[in-house]
């Protein structure tokens, strides 16, 4: 019998389950690169479309865990030495955490987690785990690659349009009973004809480029892995050897690279200074990719016309985090990858990974981040340990 420690965000303030606004969600069987959506062997312990990412939803894992004699401990109290996470961690063989409410597995915590064999990210992005410490401790790190890529890509497209067209301030004016059209439009532009740049064109970055193609933008990208020439031709992409060259050329930047030690604070005062005045930056990758106070300075000086995203550091962000109140921001809490649609896929993927782990069969290569003491699968392609 194994102890499975699952850290999820709290239930809705209005109670669980919420009143759902729709009765069904579409069935997605494959992703754009041909990868199949999760295919667990056992039956799902939930109906797709239910809220699974909060404590009462338990990622739909209760039937599987208890049916196989495991103990499933579901908590949300995760920060600080007196947290429930620290209390249960030494006994846990499996830790499951979502990036939206990350249970930070620091090297100090990994040292205390002497029974831990696998850390599963229910979602995508395993930077909340110290990957080097996990590798050294022989812990496998796996995530549900592909499960919420389109969820995030759609959120990015929404943010591109809402920043450039000045949607949120105009909506506020409407709510307040106003009709101040000149105020609405003084910062409102069409994106048609603008230059858009993707920093990283992996699953999400490329999906954003594909979705923006019909808006008749000029599309640019940079990535450590160049896309194949047919894709570049199909989308009319301009490739840049580095981010500095890209930011000088474009009006809108989407930052979509993973966070690892050398990408921390990738966007700082120097990088902002290289952008065109009045550029927009979207970051639905990770908060720590951007230096917190440099964004505020860039918005206040006008170097940046707008910043939007859903990722912060730490998470949850403190109530006085400056990104909540800085000018021209379109921030949301970390929600893009945890739509009800996304949850159905990453909960099924978490079940698939658990089944593989307990049955002793191989976890899909694309789900692996760390295995046998080193980066593996998607981890070997997209992350570095330094
Ligand atoms: P992916 O592995 O498919 O793509 C990542 C890409 O980044 C790869 O093409 C890789 O070559 C590139 N890359 C790595 N380091 C780079 C560097 N220094 N410069 C340029 N390119 C670099 O991953 P994905 O599914 O597209 O996700 C990307 C990131 O988005 C995740 O790591 C995660 O942090 C974040 N994410 C956020 C949410 C959310 O809810 N906001 C959800 C999913 C993923």
Q: What is the mean pLDDT of the chain?
A: 98
**Cis check: omega of the bond before 316, within 30 degrees of 0:** yes
Catalytic member of 109, 240, 286, 364: 286
Which of 200, 255, 266, 379 best tests ligand 1's pocket when mutated (most atoms within 8 Å of CB)? 200
CA distance 367 to 40: 13
CA torsion 192-310-379-270 (nearest 10°) is: 70
- The string of pLDDT tens digits covering residues 317-362 is 999 999 999 999 999 999 999 999 999 999 999 999 999 999 999 9
33 is catalytic: no
Q: What lines the ligand 1 site, CB under 6 Å? A: 123-125, 148-149, 152, 199-200, 202-205, 222-225, 256-259, 263, 284-286, 310-311, 334, 336-337, 378, 382
- Nearest Cα residue to 90 out of 114, 120, 118, 117: 114
Return the DSSP state at 329.
B
Beta bridge mates, 73: 5
CA distance 283 to 304: 13
Contacting residues for 48 by C-beta, under 8 A, at least 6 apart: 24, 25, 27, 344
- pLDDT, position 188: 98
pLDDT band at 207 (very low <50, low <70, confident <90, very high): very high
- pLDDT, position 138: 98
- pLDDT, position 75: 98
CA distance 178 to 174: 5
- Nearest Cα residue to 235 out of 253, 251, 214: 214
166 is catalytic: no
- The string of pLDDT tens digits covering residues 82-96 is 999 999 999 999 999
- The helix, strand and coil proportions of the chain, stated in percent and rounded to the nearest 5, come to 35, 15, 45
Return the CATH architecture of domain 149-324: 3-Layer(aba) Sandwich (3.40)
Q: What percent of the chain has pLDDT over 70?
A: 100
CA of 352 to the centre of ligand 1 (A): 22
CA of 147 to the centre of ligand 1 (A): 13
pLDDT band at 13 (very low <50, low <70, confident <90, very high): very high
CA of 367 to the centre of ligand 1 (A): 14
Residue nearest to atom 1 of ligand 1 (CA): 202
Its pTM stands at 0.98
Q: Which residue carries 């930047």 as its tokens? A: 253
The edge-to-edge listing of strands for the beta sheet with 118-121 is 71-75, 3-7, 94-97, 118-121, 140-143, 368-371, 374-375
Catalytic member of 98, 256, 303, 315: 315
63 is catalytic: no
CA distance 168 to 349: 35
> What's the topology of domain 3-148+338-376?
Rossmann fold (3.40.50)
Q: What percent of the chain has pLDDT over 90?
A: 100
**In the chain, domain spans:** 3-148+338-376, 149-324
- pLDDT, position 51: 98
Instruction: Name the phi and psi angles at 174, rounded to 5.
Output: -60, -45
- pLDDT, position 97: 98
- Nearest Cα residue to 286 out of 94, 138, 104, 163: 104
Which of 121, 157, 202, 260 best tests ligand 1's pocket when mutated (most atoms within 8 Å of CB)? 202
Return the DSSP state at 228.
P
- The string of pLDDT tens digits covering residues 34-78 is 999 999 999 999 999 999 999 999 999 999 999 999 999 999 999
Give yes or no on whether 3-148+338-376 and 149-324 have one common fold: yes
CA distance 368 to 143: 7
Contacting residues for 264 by C-beta, under 8 A, at least 6 apart: 288, 289
Distances (CA, A) of 303 to 3, 300, 314: 51, 8, 25
CA of 54 to the centre of ligand 1 (A): 25
CA distance 348 to 122: 9
CA of 257 to the centre of ligand 1 (A): 4
CA distance 126 to 260: 9
Beta bridge mates, 157: none
Give CA angle at 194 (193, 197), nearest 5°.
130
- The string of pLDDT tens digits covering residues 254-287 is 999 999 999 999 999 999 999 999 999 999 999 9
């Amino acid at each position: 019998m194994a102890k499975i420690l699952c850290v999820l965000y709290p239930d809705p303030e209005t109670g669980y389950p919420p009143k759902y606004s729709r009765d069904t969600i579409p069935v997605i069987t494959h992703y754009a690169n041909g990868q199949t959506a999760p295919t667990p062997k056992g039956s799902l312990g939930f109906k797709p479309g239910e809220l699974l990412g909060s404590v009462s939803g338990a990622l739909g894992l209760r039937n599987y865990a208890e049916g196989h004699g495991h103990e499933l401990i579901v908590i949300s109290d995760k920060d600080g030495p007196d947290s429930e996470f620290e209390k249960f961690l030494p006994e846990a063989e499996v830790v499951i955490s979502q990036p939206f409410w990350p249970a930070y597995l620091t090297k100090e915590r990994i040292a205390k987690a002497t029974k831990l064999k696998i850390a599963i990210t229910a979602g995508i992005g395993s930077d909340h785990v110290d990957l080097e410490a996990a590798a050294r401790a022989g812990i496998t790190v796996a995530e549900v690659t592909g499960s919420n890529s389109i969820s995030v890509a759609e959120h990015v497209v929404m943010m591109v349009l809402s920043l450039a067209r000045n949607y949120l301030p105009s909506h506020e004016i409407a709510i307040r009973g106003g009709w101040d059209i000149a105020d609405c439009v003084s910062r409102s532009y069409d994106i048609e004809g603008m230059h858009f740049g993707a920093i990283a064109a992996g699953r999400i970055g490329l999906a954003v480029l594909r979705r923006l193609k019909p808006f008749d933008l000029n599309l640019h990208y940079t990535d450590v892995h160049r896309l194949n020439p047919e894709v570049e031709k199909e989308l009319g992409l301009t490739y840049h050897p580095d981010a500095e060259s890209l930011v000088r050329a474009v009006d809108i930047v989407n930052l979509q690279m993973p966070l690892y030690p050398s990408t921390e604070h990738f966007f700082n005062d120097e990088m902002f200074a290289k952008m065109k005045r009045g550029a927009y930056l979207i970051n639905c990758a990770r908060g720590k990719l951007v230096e917190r106070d440099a964004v505020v300075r860039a918005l206040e000086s006008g170097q940046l016309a707008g910043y939007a995203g859903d990722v912060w550091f730490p998470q949850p962000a403190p109530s006085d985090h400056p990104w909540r109140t800085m000018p021209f921001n379109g921030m949301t809490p970390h929600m893009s990858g945890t739509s009800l649609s996304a949850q159905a896929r990453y909960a099924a993927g978490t079940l698939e990974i658990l089944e593989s782990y307990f049955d002793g069969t191989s976890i899909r290569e694309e789900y692996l981040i760390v295995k046998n003491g080193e980066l593996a699968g998607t981890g070997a392609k997209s992350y570095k340990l330094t």
